[in-house]
Structure 1
Amino acid sequence: MSDLKIGIVGTVRGADFYKEFNRFNNVKVTAIMDTDPEALSDFKQKHDIDMTFTKYEELLDSNIDVVVLTSPIHVHAKQAIKALERDIHVLSEVTAATTLQDCKLLFNAVKRSKAQYMMAENYCYIREIVAINNMVKEGLFGKIYFAEGEYLHNVKYLHYDKDGNTTWRRRETMGKRGCTYGTHSLGPTLNWFNERVNYVNCLGSGSHTVPEYENDDTTIMLCQLESGALIKIRLDMVSNRPHNMGYYSLQGTKGCYESPRIPGEKHKVWLEDYSKSTEEWIDLEDLYNQFLPEEYIHMPVEQTDSNHWGADYFMVKDFIDCIVNDKPVNIDIYKALEYTLPGILSEESIISGGKPVKFPNLKLWE
């Protein structure tokens, strides 16, 4: 078959996707779109690209098979819908949408389209996350009932451009209260449970570091699952502190997992079936040979060469495999919305003092 033709929206994060897609022989990035002509010119000078566009519709007209959306989050759904209406496959950066209405419109567009939609929640492809997921499937944690994820990333410098104008990050993630960017934490943890959220509660610390920001310095979102299990998500994108964009923990009746909080620490598990006592932690890496595919152990790319600890490589590889071989993608519209909707519902919860908000039944949207 001919190469899968890829079009990318956005030159900044798009450069990372350009690199990842070009690692594979059966695909070719043929077009890039950005509203900034100067950014397009710079991109073309650095990369081998056939076509550049400043209008999204022109990109969709350029005979591409897949569109990769690295645009601002509030246009993800609208751009995805336009591509799906043309039966163009979509790989969309997080979040899938920013409003309940856009979630419904996106859901219906996916159902109507012959193309596939996948949300690019790359954190689900991090090596340690995959290992824990495989151990959960083997029953090593027993009945799991609590998990947590934290995304602590001081990105105040991204809230204004060089001319002092507010960016989409300032407006869409910091311009309202709630867990506005929580899928990197929720996606992996919810995937371990493989069940739906039932209720969402959300509270915030107030705005202190930058008092004029609407979003709280730290936001806590609690997701109670249908089984009664609990997931706690912490989001903080302004506090003056070192980054920790990938903290996770998991607790079950037979084991627990703790990821590092400080650089240099190791991922640890306590497992009833492996540990010699209730106080013995085991380095997760010591169990890789039993619970990871070979390519995750001896990675074909350096983790420093593929963003997010190598997860971008595995996510793009998986997406290509699904599209080329006509297999269902792994983070489909159901998972995309299950990872995205709690953050949207948290906006209602936090302004009402943390009251629980019911998660919608997506089956009723069909």
Structure 2
Amino acid sequence: MKYNRRNFLKNATVLSGSMAVLPALSGTAQGNVLQARQETGRPQQVNMCGYAAPKLETVRIGFIGLGMRGPGAVTRMARIEGVEIKALCDKDASRAAKAQEILEKQGLPKAREYSGDEGWKAMVADESLDLVYICTPWELHTPMAIYAMQHGKHVACEVPIAVTVDECWALVETSEQTKKHCMMLENCCYDFFEMLTLNMARNGLFGELIHAEGAYIHDLVELNFSKEGYADMWRLKMNASRNGSLYPTHGLGPIAQCMNINRGDKMDYLVSMSTNDFMMGNIAATRAGEDPFYRPFVGKHYRGNMNTTLIHTAKGKTMMVQHDVTSPRPYSRIHLVSGTKGIASKYPAPERIAFGHEWLPKAELDALYTKYTPPLIKHVGEVAKQVGGHGGMDFVMDWRLIDCLRNGLPLDQDVYDGALWSCVFPLSEQSVNQRSQSLDVPDFTRGAWQRNQPVNLTLEGGATTGVRKEGQS
């Protein structure tokens, strides 16, 4: 793969002319090492880690993408006080109209609807919005996010927030230039055990963290091949054209926070390896024999069924991230953190913690939950379980985002996190293509990781945002 930022900016027609042309990333003669951005001599414009935007009494939101993830996001945001849902946009007009029923059920005013291929541009340009919430196919995330920031809107975007290194840099520089938040919606950072282990790590219970593991192991074969699944079969097409860790952030985000990546340590280099495809090509051929619809998917170079990526940090620690969405296996994000004093592991169930050779009994694990569950979960966790969204973690994430915006607080996940966690996708692909050669990981903070502070686990200055009862406007 070639990372040419000039080509990206040329092709991304949604970008305004106000954005500076960015120098291309260079490589070694072997093409296997990406040069860190700070080596180009361009300094960080504004440090968005710890950046506090002006307070917003009411957060006016416009949603783009109302297929798989969008309606759930509208439902959750409709339950949060201080939120005004102003606009709903989807390529398919019927989906935008369908989402109006969510607002009607909650007793909220009707939002303006946008549709068609260019509807999202009109929504962003014409509506008075504070936040654009993006739930579209992956390749649209970066262009939409950049366009929104350039039009004065904060951005919350589904994962991954970018699919190339060029896009990652474009997001970083646009966020810094506009001073607009650009948060990747990595909901797994807000799951209950992940938040427990983050707080325990922060309090030193595991000692010095040495190694961590995350994954996205999820049998999505039927969904990826379903005609009623992802619009225009976009996710199957992605699996038929890219080979690496296509979806790393669910497993990577929580362990990166535990290890203070971008906030005291940084990813230094990675190596990645994929198996061959032993399943998807065969499935496509079988289905094509029964249904001509699947004939275009025959003979493609599907990604390897299992990808394993290893990351080495600047402080000599290691991380492992796995990706497998075809094998008939139980769901797992692994979520393992291991230190000099103890270890925590979420999958396979049940959740486990040990400070020696034996896992703690349930009573002692429950005691740790009582003592080390962070204030955010204690404050909104129970109502989050009632509202829902992957067991409540989606609602915790959305509530925290809105509360930070309304109180002028820094976000838990900034643009550097979104760019870094997402860039593992294209970097793993390049490593796989080059027989697992190691690649430098760009430092999107341009050295600020050495002084950035860890994610704030208190609610100081916030927790002023209420939750509407179901059906209550």
* Aligned equivalents of 1:209, 1:252: Cα separation in 2: 37
- 1:240 positional shift: 2.3
* Aligned equivalents of 2:234, 2:97: Cα separation in 1: 22
* Aligned equivalents of 1:295, 1:229: Cα separation in 2: 28
> Are 1:260 and 2:347 matched, yes or no?
yes
Deviates more, 1:347-356 or 1:161-170: 161-170
- 1:149 positional shift: 1.1
When normalised by structure 2's length, the TM-score is: 0.71
* Aligned equivalents of 2:250, 2:328: Cα separation in 1: 20
1:248-287 to 2 correspondences below 5 Å: 248-261=335-348, 265-271=349-355, 278-283=357-362, 284-287=365-368
Identity value in percent: 25
When normalised by structure 1's length, the TM-score is: 0.91
- 1:313 positional shift: 1.2
Contact 2:89 2:120 in 1 (8 A): yes
Contact 1:201 1:354 in 2 (8 A): yes
* Aligned equivalents of 1:347, 1:118: Cα separation in 2: 24
Q: For residue 196 of structure 1, what is the amino acid of its counterpart?
A: K
RMSD: 2.2
Q: Which residue of 2 aligns with 1:202?
A: 272
Contact 2:61 2:132 in 1 (8 A): yes
> Are 1:4 and 2:59 matched, yes or no?
yes
Q: What are the ranges of 5 or more consecutive residues in structure 1 without an aligned counterpart?
A: 273-277
Q: Which residue of 1 aligns with 2:320?
A: 232
Q: Which residue of 2 aligns with 1:36?
A: 92
- 1:364 positional shift: 4.4
> Are 1:78 and 2:143 matched, yes or no?
yes
> Are 1:188 and 2:257 matched, yes or no?
no
Residue 342 of structure 1 is aligned with which of 424, 429, 445?
424
* Aligned equivalents of 2:402, 2:386: Cα separation in 1: 22
Q: What are the ranges of 5 or more consecutive residues in structure 2 without an aligned counterpart?
A: 1-55, 105-109, 282-299, 449-473
Cα shift readout 1:183-211 (whole Å, capped 9, x = no counterpart): 00111111111121111111011100113
**Structure 1's 84 and 310: CA in aligned 2 closer, same or farther, altered over 3 A?**
same
1:25-174 to 2 correspondences below 5 Å: 25-48=81-104, 49-54=110-115, 55-60=119-124, 61-160=126-225, 162=227, 167-174=233-240
**Structure 1's 213 and 159: CA in aligned 2 closer, same or farther, altered over 3 A?**
farther
Higher share of residues assigned strand? 1
Contact 2:352 2:359 in 1 (8 A): no
Q: Which residue of 2 aligns with 1:275?
A: none
- 1:293 positional shift: 3.4
- The number of residue pairs the alignment matches comes to 357
* Aligned equivalents of 1:168, 1:317: Cα separation in 2: 30
**Structure 1's 82 and 300: CA in aligned 2 closer, same or farther, altered over 3 A?**
same
- 1:130 positional shift: 0.8
Contact 2:384 2:395 in 1 (8 A): no
Deviates more, 1:301-310 or 1:18-27: 301-310
Q: For residue 239 of structure 1, what is the amino acid of its counterpart?
A: S
* Aligned equivalents of 1:10, 1:227: Cα separation in 2: 40
- 1:355 positional shift: 0.8
- 1:227 positional shift: 1.2
* Aligned equivalents of 1:332, 1:115: Cα separation in 2: 10
Contact 2:168 2:420 in 1 (8 A): no
